[in-house]
Amino acid sequence: MKSPVAKMVDLFAAAHDLVHYNGAAFALARMNGYTFGGQVGVAQPFGPELRRSILRTSRMSSEIKMMTRAAADMVLDHLASMAFDGPETPLALRFHERSDGQRITIDLGRVEVGLSRSQTKVMAIGRDGWEVAAPEPGVYFRRSHAVKPLPVPEHGGRLDVLADLLDTDPDGEPFRAMLGWVIGLPFVASVRPGLMLVGPPGSGKSTTLRLLASIVEPSGVDALGSSFGQNFGDDQVRAFHRALPLWDNLTSISGNASDSLCCLVTGTAREVRTLYTDSGLSTFPISRPVGLTAVGVPAGLRPDALDRLIVIELERPARRVSDAELQRRFTEVHPLLLGALGDAVSAALRWRDRVQPPTEYRMAALAHILAATDAAVAAGELPGCPGGLLQAYAGYHRRIKERTVADDVFGSALISLLEARGGAWRGKASELVLQAGMYAGSLHDRYGPGWPSTPRRVPEVLAHLQDGLNALGVHWQKTTVNGSAVFAFTLTPRSDGQP
């Protein structure tokens, strides 16, 4: 006769597919069968929740009867070993993009009450539109405690309603840039840039960021983290469990934190010791379009990090509305906004193969999506969606590169040196450091962050500033003369008449 542990293992395995992903075991409820409270299409991680389900089920079973915690842990151990028998099963967090790029799925995160054969509903977006349906075969999601339910989307919405909520011009560059960021969020097969909103106290940047994110990832006040960069491990954990991690009120960050931000956006991995082992390693990939707020662009944020962000300056609104009232208005129109976003994503999928991919941006995938959306707007397919999304992104992209140099102590000194020398300079690295130092603001600047500590650091500093220097018309090359490195700079006046 089988033991209660063996009976529970059989009962659980009959109702679930046991899978593993990045070194961790998960249970996927089958379409027909007892699910221990799980939902079809959603992976349950092996942990306290699953243990409680096993203990609860044992109390209701006449054959198994009440199990102890130790017995439930034995069940979990047996099931975990079975989960690793097959190939790895990819699990998505909130968004899934099919490998052929023709379909995007958004997990609505809705939880149905009770033990059941409950079926997960998703927003399935294709080239011909969107619908609320069950996930297609092979598409599975994982949910953390941070995954909140989205409303059931509705057809007939307009994206310019969001501009009224945010009290901004729907045709203005800030709104078009923010909207372009939101439209790009579900395209998880590509690297998506982060969004940084800067502005004085009272400009509503935290509320604006939270509402923008909430369209696809409901975010209350508790979703805004703090102290980014103080502990990269904590930042990774936050990003691992949130499809859209947000941080509020950045002031200054270190060079290492700036590099960590690059990793979170472009892609990194969280490596931890595998549960119940001393030497096993579990690796969890992370690539997130982070959201940030700051009063001003934080000191220490390097050019390569800024290149992965859309930085938008906000002004104080003409009229003040309480957060509670804004949230009420947002909740009221959220289903239509989500549906309108689905229309825009569908249009981008439909037009992406018809427009030429822009190649001059680091975030080329987003630029391609924006160009496709602009084409759909021009064809009259997206009423309520402003055009010029790519133009707005390009404008902020160019200006942040220029500002990177203008705000950099060495970059601004180099520009001043070239202007004083008629647009050209040539010499060794040591001569460059010495002569540029004459145009630095103070002695403190010449020894502060960003200034090359030795002539050998000059190539590294120039590499960080290269994109911004190019945007301002500064070009340089390095040659070797008599065994010494010689740098030659030229400053070309802008052709667009801008300073």
For 79-128, the pLDDT digits (tens) are: 989 998 888 888 999 999 999 999 999 999 876 544 344 567 899 999 99
pLDDT of residue 114: 42
Query: What pLDDT, on the 0 to 100 scale, is given for residue 276?
Result: 45
pLDDT of residue 144: 82
State residue 115's pLDDT score: 39
Give CA–CA dist 335/110, Å, rounded. Answer: 14
Residue 313 and residue 498: Cα distance in Å, rounded? 19
Q: Is the dihedral of CA 395, 399, 400, 402 positive or negative?
A: positive
Topology annotation, domain 408-491: Aspartate Aminotransferase, domain 1 (3.90.1150)
Instruction: Give the 3-state secondary structure of residue 191.
Output: coil
For the segment 420-469, what is each residue's pLDDT rounded down to a tens digit? 999 999 999 999 999 998 888 765 556 666 788 889 989 988 887 887 88
Collapsing DSSP to helix, strand or coil, 241 comes out as helix
Average pLDDT, the chain: 86
Measured distance CA(298)–CA(301) in Å, rounded: 6
Give bridge partners of residue 480 from the DSSP assignment.
485
For the chain, what are the domain ranges? 4-83, 95-142, 161-403, 408-491
What percent of the chain is predicted at pLDDT more than 70? Answer: 90
| DSSP code of residue 247 | E
Q: How far apart are CA 303 and CA 318, in angstroms?
A: 33
Cα distances from 203 to residues 132, 316, 483, in angstroms, run 36, 4, 55
Q: Do 395 and 173 form a contact (C-beta atoms < 8 A)? A: yes
**pLDDT at 243 > cutoff 90:** yes
For residues 180 and 47, which has the higher predicted lDDT (pLDDT)? 180
Q: Can you give the pLDDT at residue 348?
A: 97
pLDDT value, residue 4:
85
Tokens of 191: 């690297």
Predicted confidence (pLDDT) at residue 394 exceeds the cutoff of 70: yes
The two tokens of residue 109 are 């995160």
Q: Is the dihedral of CA 297, 301, 303, 307 positive or negative?
A: negative
Q: Comparing 65 with 331, which gets the higher pLDDT? A: 331
| CATH classification for the domain delimited by 161-403, as one of 3.30.43, 3.40.50, 3.30.450, 1.10.10 | 3.40.50
Angle at which helix 255-266 crosses helix 232-241, to 10 degrees, equals 20
Q: Is 339 helix (H, G, I), strand (E, B) or coil?
A: helix
pLDDT above 90 (res 193): yes
Helix (H) or strand (E) holding 198: strand 194-198
Calpha distance 107→155 (Å, rounded): 17
Residue in the structure block whose two tokens are 């099931």? 79
Q: Locate 86 and state its tokens.
A: 């097959």
